[in-house]
Structure 1
Amino acid sequence: MRACFAACLALLPLAAPAWEPDGLEVDLELVLAVDVSRSMSPDELETQRRGYAAALTSDEVVAAITSGMIGRVALSYVEWAGAAAQRSVVDWTLIEGAEDAARFAARIGERTAPGMRRTSISGALFHAAESFEDNGFHGLRRVIDISGDGPNNQGGPVAAARDAVVAEGITINGLPLMTPEDELAIWDIADLDIYYEDCVVGGPGAFVVPVRGWAAFPEAVTRKLVLEIAGPPARLWQAEAPGAPRVDCLVGEKTWDRYRRTWGDP
């Protein structure tokens, strides 16, 4: 029997190697996709940059990062406007604590480029989703955090883009900027938060945090980042369950077309 056991054992294949992830394991891969369309004034663009930098270095966000299962996240910061107008400000970076967060925040503050034309949320979503590929990290979750002060008006329907990105296992959260005091308020819609809920965000635990004035921006970004890094509570600020949109997901395209037919391209 012993001889048989030894002989049979010799015929067994070697144990399979332990599974290893494709890239460094992190709790979260997070793209910060920030609207820099021309509806944003230079002061508003600077307020955004300072707000993200302050949030990333806050005690609350650093604590959320270090308290995760693995204790580190991967971040990238991208500015976007039209369908082909995206620029990487800070490429994928490992954040393991306060020092890493401070360096990332400082790099955001170095960028002072002007805004760009049009608003393509769909283009920003596809660009962000593609950036996850071969980024050197393997996250337990992948999230796109997208901010914007108006609806999509270029680059294909946003709801279709949302669905395609979510199908890749990516969650999309929204930060609608409901600050209609700017001089290009013609492109604003009063229910931008509902537009984001019904047409932009999606995936497990997707949620929206509206910003109803620039003074509230840093606090809103901090709260949103903590929720994204730690994972949102079951019902806190979450988008409605999928169903018929309460707003027209093509409202931006229609507004742009009416303006163009009346006044020409702005």
Structure 2
Amino acid sequence: MHILRAILTSVCLAPAAQACDLALALAVDVSGSVDASEFRIQMDGLAAGLRDPIVSEALVRGQAQLMLVQWTGSSRQQVTIPWTRVDSFAALDRFADQVAEDPRIWRNFSTAIGEALHTTLDAFESVSDCKRRLIDLSGDGVSNEGVEPTQVHAALRDRGIVVNALAIEESEPDLTAYFFENVIVGEGAFVVSASGFADYPERIRKKLLREVTQQTAGLK
């Protein structure tokens, strides 16, 4: 009886699991306009950005859920690293290692941003308990296949999912404006610009800093 009472007491006094503050889906462009070296710049830059001391601290403190999506043309979007709970710096490092080592799935296909958003949207069902839900999409071109990105906006708003974007203006100097008008959506949504792939690592780091350390404000 005394043993049972001790067990029940310890269970009752055990701290509750910390709630997830942020579910962050990282959607990486692997369309035909991205060559092998540019793909490597994206993956290595993203892994380095996640390891930034301030970014990693915020993710661990917020018990974040992270996921990686590779996307290109219609019917070619895939979750390559499923939702991973970042409950320690070791877990964050393991996820960053997976990002850096994630093999490219497709080459030489079109750019279907709307399809990418739709695929990523569906994956949020399993992390509905997270306080904030965010898609971080990077790309170097306008959507030229499949459903238009704006057609997915209503569903994203309904589920409280914010979409931010990183426009890599390697060959399309007006891409930032296109992403602002057609891709981003939700409270506090924003676009970050990179003049080319060489700028991607620093721009994605700053983008992650803004996403994980600041509360969203305003409404697009």
Q: Normalising to structure 2: TM-score of the pair?
A: 0.85
Partner residue in 1 for 2:27: 33
Seq. identity, %: 34
How far 1:110 moved relative to its partner?
2.0
How much has 1:190 moved relative to structure 2? 2.4
Q: Distance in 2 between matches of 1:171 and 1:49?
A: 22
The CA RMSD measured in Å over matched residues stands at: 2.0
Partner amino acid, structure 1, of 2:51: T
Within 1, Cα distance between the matches of 2:100 and 2:63? 22
**Residue 162 of structure 1 is aligned with which of 153, 158, 181?**
153
SS of aligned partner of 2:65: strand
Q: State the partner residue of 1:191.
A: 174
Residue of structure 2 aligned with 1:120, choices 82, 100, 112: 112
Q: Report the Cα distance in structure 2 between the residues aligned to 1:62 and 1:154, rounded to whole angstroms.
A: 35
User: Whose radius of gyration is greater, 1 or 2?
Assistant: 1
Measure the CA separation in 2 of the matches of 1:192 and 1:119.
13
Q: 1:234: Cα distance to partner?
A: 4.8
Distance 1:170 1:24 in 2: 21
> Which segments of 5 or more consecutive residues in structure 1 lack a partner in the other structure?
1-22, 181-188, 236-240, 243-266
Q: Which runs of 5+ in 2 are unaligned?
A: 1-16
Q: How many positions carry a matched residue from both structures? A: 203
Question: 2-side partners of 1:60 and 1:134: how far apart?
Answer: 27
Residue 176 of structure 1: aligned partner: 167
Question: Take 1:142 and 1:79, find their aligned partners in 2: how far apart are those partners?
Answer: 18
What is the alpha-carbon distance in structure 1 between the residues aligned to residue 147 and residue 103 of structure 2?
Answer: 29
> Offset of 1:146 from its aligned partner?
0.6
Alignment equivalent of 1:205, drawn from 188, 193, 200 = 188
* Contact 2:41-2:197 within 8 A present in 1 as well: yes
* Residue 87 of structure 1, CA deviation: 2.0
94, 99, 102: which is aligned to 1:111? Answer: 102
> Greater share of helix residues, 1 or 2?
2
Please state how far the C-alpha of 1:65 moved relative to its aligned partner: 2.0
Does 1:144 find its partner at 2:112? no
Judge conservation of contact 1:76–1:91 (CA < 8 Å) in 2.
Answer: yes
Separation (CA, whole Å) in 1 of partners of 2:18 and 2:52? 25
User: Residue 87 of structure 1: SS of its match in structure 2?
Assistant: strand
Report the Cα distance in structure 2 between the residues aligned to 1:86 and 1:145, rounded to whole angstroms: 15
Once residues 189 and 18 of structure 2 are traced to their aligned partners in structure 1, the CA distance between those partners, rounded to angstroms, is: 25
Per the normalisation by structure 1, the TM-score is 0.71
Instruction: Say if 1:77 and 1:178 are closer, same or farther in 2 by CA, change over 3 A.
Output: same
AA at the equivalent of 1:101: L
> Hey, which bits of structure 1, 4+ residues long, moved more than 4 A?
232-235
Contact map agreement 1:126 1:161 (CA 8 A) in 2 = yes
